[in-house]
Amino acid sequence: MQRVPATKPPPPPHPTLPLVVAVGALVTILSSLVASRFVLRWLVRYHWPIAAYVLVAAVLGYGPVIAFAVRASRRWGTGRLRDDTGVHFRKIDAGWGPVTWLSCFAAQIALGIIVLLLNIPLKSNTEGIGKLRADRGYVIALLVVAVLVAPIVEEIVFRGLVLRGLLSRMGAVPAVMVQAVLFGSAHIDPVRGAGNIGLVIVLSGVGGVLGGAEYLLRRLGPTMLAHGILNAVALTIVLIVS
């Protein structure tokens, strides 16, 4: 009698959260980022070290959304923030993280070429950083925020709360695409003007790769590592070349 090969069971459904969580996370992080700009403009009169302003911006920009995530987990989730947002790491993520980063880098290159070929305005969100590299305190604060804080918080928001909220109302592909565009759009800065168009396109590609990785692996460990590497490489290049 011929044996029938065992079939691998399908993965469990991706965890979801109510759509209100996705909307609340977006409103909170965008509002806090905008508010932090106004606060920093007011604080500039005190002539603090640049590093202090970087840290203040991080606290004001990211603190409220983390508070919202904790609140959302208790009200609409299990009360365990790590489980509700997928903040889990495995040993194998030491490999998945760099692989995800390489995929993000490839997406950046591909979309960057398309943007340039179509003459779409593009301005980097790292412009001007190199001019201040002589300030050691600023560089250290910037690296801590960009390589550690931002990847953790932004992954919790976009690939944790937003993606899981969207998955409660739509399929995987549209949910990943929508959160990708929202991730790219969150980096808009009025100072860059039309240059935001190309930047949003490129960063939406990165958001798509990170969202796809989270959906397939069901955790944020690899995407946090990839996001951190991406920011670290970009800042290193800017600080060396500028």
pLDDT (tens digit per residue) in 58-87: 999 999 999 999 999 999 999 999 999 999
Is 115 among the domain residues?
Answer: yes
Is 78 among the domain residues?
Answer: yes
Residue 139, both tokens: 């560089």
Give the global pTM.
0.92
Read out DSSP for 2-67? PPPPPPPPPPPPPP---HHHHHHHHHHHHHHHHHHHHHHHHHGGG---HHHHHHHHHHHHHHHHHH
Per the CB < 8 A criterion, the answer to whether 113 and 201 are in contact is no
Is 190 among the domain residues?
Answer: yes
Is 5 among the domain residues?
Answer: no
Is 127 among the domain residues?
Answer: yes
pLDDT (tens digit per residue) in 132-143: 666 677 788 888
Give me the pLDDT at residue 242, please. 66
Is 7 among the domain residues?
Answer: no
Is 203 among the domain residues?
Answer: yes
Residue 191, both tokens: 């100072």
Is 4 among the domain residues?
Answer: no
Give me the pLDDT at residue 118, please. 97
Per the CB < 8 A criterion, the answer to whether 230 and 104 are in contact is yes
Per the structure, the count of domains in the chain is 1
pLDDT (tens digit per residue) in 132-189: 666 677 788 888 899 999 999 999 999 999 999 999 999 999 999 999 999 999 999 8
Q: Give whole-number Cα distances, 227 to 13, 19, 59, 209, 232, in Å.
A: 25, 25, 19, 11, 9
Question: pLDDT class for 2, splitting at 50, 70, 90?
Answer: low
Residue 107 is part of which domain span? 19-241
